[in-house]
Amino acid sequence: LAKRLRKAPRVIATELAGELTAVLRELEGVASVEVAGAGYLNIRLNRAAVAREIAQDKHADVGGPGFRLVEHTSINPNKAAHIGHLRNAILGDTFQRLLRPDSYKRGYEVGVQNYIDNTGVQVADVIVGLVHLEGKTLEGTRELLAELAAQGQRIDFYCWDLYARVSQWYTADPAEAAARKQLRLDTLHALETGGNDTAEIADLISTAVLHRHLETMERLSIEYDFLPRESEILHLHFWDAARALMIEKGVLYEETEGKNKGCMVMRRAGSEVAAGTTDEDAKVIVRSNGTVTYVGKDIAYHLWKFGLLPGKDFGYAKFHEYPTHTCWISTDGPSDPSHPVFGKADAIYNVIDSRQNDPQNNVVQALLGMGFTEAAERYTHFSYEMVALTPRCAIELGYTISEEDKAKSYIEVSGRKGFGVKADDLLDQLIAAAQAEVDTRHPDLGDEARRTIATQIGVGALRYFMLRFTRNTVIAFDFNDALSFEGETGPYVQYAIVRAANIFRKADTTAEDSLAAVAGLDLSSILDSEEGTSLWETWLLASKLTLMIEQCIATAEPAYLAKYAFQLAQQFNNFYHRHHVLKETDATRKALLLATAAVAQREMVRALGYLGIEAPERM
RNA sequence: GGGCGAGUAGCUCAAUGGAUAGAGCAUCAGCCUUCUAAGCUGACGGUUGCAGGUUCGAGCCCUGCCUCGCUCACCA
């Protein structure tokens, strides 16, 4: 009705406003409704009545049935995770927290997967470096891994450097370039075929690096349910089933003429081909040498995700234990019969950066072409822009950059040049900065307690930083911004929560008791007054968390929740400054102030929980 | 050249077609004997890239133009 009111011509709008006013007046908690102009109604609520409901936590249900699947993009298990991976993992993890039924009665069943691209060129490059630059055999690789572990060195950091080194090595000597590129192709081929020393070395390395990735992400409270590997998609012949299905449905056909002669191709969306000519614009799915492209593998994988790939499933093995659940990995060996069901999703969110918009569209196109329109509709590319470095940040890190790059607002990171910021290094810096602050503020606390707080603050700063930007904003990374604990940051919200906790401790009460006390009080005289309006605004804002979550899910945009958490903290700090709770002498007034702090704190803690950020005991 | 995205305060970013375009940072001026200042208050800062159009109303929608980024392989 409100929408119609806005769109309607004036004469009708007046009638609609009357209609809407009548409806609103019937609602519980609505004190008065007045027409305030075209498209506006002034609604006054019965503040005391609504506040009681909020205190009793009668928030709306969100969500519904269904199995959602959030997939994080492939992190190639060939080197350390960097800030780009952090944005991906934090966005995906936060979104799946919103979908899960943890705090709300009706949530979604969610499975979080992380695709492991363990047969691609990136892994191949590291293996080339290991074998041809470092002279490692299979046995030598085992020794290397043992040696690094004994010295407390990290394999993913080792590979970070090696990968940059081998990338330069390919082209360093023009006379050798062709031979070295061939070496790379041979290695890639050996990985795809499997059953040889090269593939075994790659498996050792990528498994070791994968364990490190899970550890890095676990530092940020990010967990996975299943790790499907590309090697299994190949070895279990997912593609054969997909290929048969695509041919049957008529989306895949053999090209007999033109530049794609001898390939199996798929028509692109919107391309029109005149009769009797070849589709030069078609997407190649199977190369003329018979091997399948990435897009083909991706289509097969997504058919499996939706449970549309007949007769094919992964083998499953336990890979990593979290405190509350197991992370499984795919295997082409014997499958552990105790594995949960993965795939068969009703809806999919693919958390992949915006550079993959085109490839993602190919998958949707294939689904549509095969008549799986419902699957195509419930396939969401949760797209986000990359994390780049500011030129100043690049210089700080010791990289030499061109004059042209210096003029830009940001520079894309490059693993091939070893140009970027490692996730663990950044987190270490954040925690160290927080630790220094906590040490000076709380010398009385024990080492363990201070370390815990510093970690919570560091993680809070990092997760909030990655979430405060909307998805289609390129993050120009800068240490000054990321290391800040003031202003619009995670620690700002954490600090507001700690302040509230301090009130309850000093007042010798709890937030729960403060909220329960509201039931027996007459709050209307204070809340309805001019003076009570600022208090009321805190209550109103605090009651909007579920609305925010619904909006975040509908738009697939976690940034709104981050913004909300900050605004609520701002509102609370305002309240904190304006009303000195402990000095209040009037009993009713003090009870209301305590309850206001309690309701704000409750919702701030919840909001941060959804953002994957903990509230420290002290700060 | 095609596709996608962006252009808003000195900087980094917000803003369902709706009321006076908001935050943070930076700068300047204040506030710690207080529920710890990781905080609060105030000031400064805007022709929302340009030009038209639609609308009662446009940062947002439409058309054209300018600038920047990403992308467009039988790579992955």
How far apart CA A445 and CA A441 sit, in angstroms, is 9
Strand B reaches within 7 A of the A570 CB: yes
Strand B reaches within 7 A of the A301 CB: no
| Residue A384 φ/ψ, nearest 5 degrees | -145, 155
Q: Calculate mean pLDDT across residues A459-466.
A: 97
How far apart CA A342 and CA A284 sit, in angstroms, is 29
pLDDT of amino acid A60: 58
> What does DSSP assign to residue A518?
G
How far apart CA A212 and CA A200 sit, in angstroms, is 19
CB atoms within 10 A of CB A329: 21
Q: How far is the CA of A410 from the C1' of B69 (A)?
A: 10
Which value, in Å, is the radius of gyration of the alpha carbons in chain A? 28
Strand B reaches within 7 A of the A284 CB: yes
Pairing of strands A30-37, A40-45: antiparallel
Q: How far is the CA of A316 from the C1' of B64 (A)?
A: 57
CB atoms within 10 A of CB A305: 23
Which nucleotide is the nearest neighbour of A408, by CA and C1'?
B68
Per-chain mean pLDDT for chain A: 89
Q: Over the stretch A110-161, which tens digit does the pLDDT of each residue have?
A: 999 999 999 888 999 999 999 999 999 999 999 999 999 999 999 999 999 9
Closest residue to B35 measured CA to C1′ = A503
How far apart CA A553 and CA A605 sit, in angstroms, is 19
Strand B reaches within 7 A of the A298 CB: no
Task: Specify the residue for token string 């499997």.
Answer: A194
Q: Which nucleotides of B are covered by protein (CB under 7 A)?
A: 2-6, 11-15, 17-19, 23-25, 34-41, 56-57, 68-76
Q: Please, which pLDDT band fits residue A513 given cuts at 50, 70 and 90? A: very high
| Contact partners, residue A469, CB within 8 Å, separation at least 6 | A475, A559
Q: Strand B and chain A: which residues 434-463 have CB closer than 7 Å?
A: 434, 437-438, 441-442, 453, 457
How far apart CA A200 and CA A569 sit, in angstroms, is 52
| Contact partners, residue A200, CB within 8 Å, separation at least 6 | A138
Residue A457, phi-psi category: left (phi > 0), alpha (psi -120 to 50), beta (remainder): alpha
Strand B reaches within 7 A of the A495 CB: yes
| Contact partners, residue A463, CB within 8 Å, separation at least 6 | A90, A94, A220, A490, A611, A612, A613
Q: Strand B and chain A: which residues 307-326 have CB closer than 7 Å?
A: none
Q: Over the stretch A23-77, which tens digit does the pLDDT of each residue have?
A: 888 888 888 887 766 556 778 888 998 899 899 887 655 555 567 788 877 778 8
Nearest to A516 by CA among A47, A58, A55: A55
Pairing of strands A411-412, A387-389: antiparallel
What residue type is A498 in one-letter code? V
DSSP 3-state percent helix, strand, coil across chain A (nearest 5): 55, 15, 35
Query: What is the pTM (predicted TM-score) of this model?
Result: 0.94
pLDDT of amino acid A534: 86
Closest residue to B72 measured CA to C1′ = A358
Pairing of strands A326-331, A379-384: unpaired
Q: Over the stretch A308-332, which tens digit does the pLDDT of each residue have?
A: 999 999 999 999 999 999 999 999 9
